[in-house]
Amino acid sequence: MLVRLQKFLAEAGLGSRRHCETLISAGQVTVNGQPVTTLGTKIEPGTDQVSVAGQPVRVERKVYIALNKPTGYLCTSRDTHDRPTVFDLLPAELPRLFTVGRLDYDTAGLLLLTNDGTFSLRLTHPRYKMPKTYRVEVEGELTPAQGQQLLHGVLSDGEKLRAEKVFDVRGSRLKLVLREGKKRQVRRMLAAVGHPVTKLTRESIGSITLGNLKPGQWRYLTNEEVRQLVGAQ
């Protein structure tokens, strides 16, 4: 069966589909020894020989992991300043993985990792609006009016940011649900209403929660959990 080249690369663990499109456009991908730069080119897996930067691409088994990311870890495969990354917490024998979205260096909590580009897209693309729940501690105490502001939307750097739900507000502590994925969104929203974040933890992504995972621990997602996430939109 013919599949689009960028989809094949994403499912082989080369990154998100958008990243794979960038590899193709940059001329780093060859099919049967010939450079291919046209997006939408179709290949037949198992018959056509695909390489990236001269290295053959092999489709690996799909892996889906839930990790409780501690603060002080980056969501990149390597860092020029030699800071620890989330991949340092995983066994070396796992296939090459990438994070499904990111958590900031100073943010903890649930992080998903995979080598399945289609799965990653379903969880991160804005049109799917995957809900994510965060536990937040802030400076000062959040008022009911400020909680309503977060629901109706606040402006940060000219961008409107809003929470899907604000609940369990107890003075300087609260939980909120986002269906957007803007950069440093929780921190920007709380700063906009006068309460800078002091501690931030992501508790869930869709139906997947931290559960009993301690900071630095990880587990495989079950087949049912993967189906629930992909079918949640």
Count Cβ neighbours within 10 Å for each residue of 211-233 and write b for 16 or more, e otherwise: eebebeebeebeeebbeebeebe
CATH number of the domain enclosing 33: 3.10.290.10
Domain check: are 200 and 153 in the same one? Answer: yes
Domain check: are 79 and 13 in the same one? Answer: no
Please report, to the nearest 10 degrees, the dihedral formed by the alpha carbons of residues 190, 193, 198, 204 taken in order: -20
Output the CA–CA distances (angstroms, integers) from residue 108 to 13, 49, 94, 102, 227, in the order listed: 25, 41, 22, 11, 25
Domain check: are 137 and 115 in the same one? Answer: no
pLDDT in tens, 67-126: 999 999 999 887 778 889 999 999 998 988 999 999 999 999 999 999 888 888 888 877
- pLDDT at position 233 over 70: no
Which pTM value belongs to this model?
Answer: 0.76
Domain check: are 122 and 214 in the same one? Answer: yes
Looking at the structure of the chain, the number of domains it has is: 3
CATH number of the domain enclosing 185: 3.30.70.1560
Tell me the residue range of the domain where 80 lies.
Answer: 64-126+208-230
Check 48, 104, 157, 168 and give the catalytic one: 104
CA angle 80, 25, 124 (to 5 degrees): 65
Domain check: are 85 and 104 in the same one? Answer: yes
Q: Is residue 168 among the annotated active site residues?
A: no
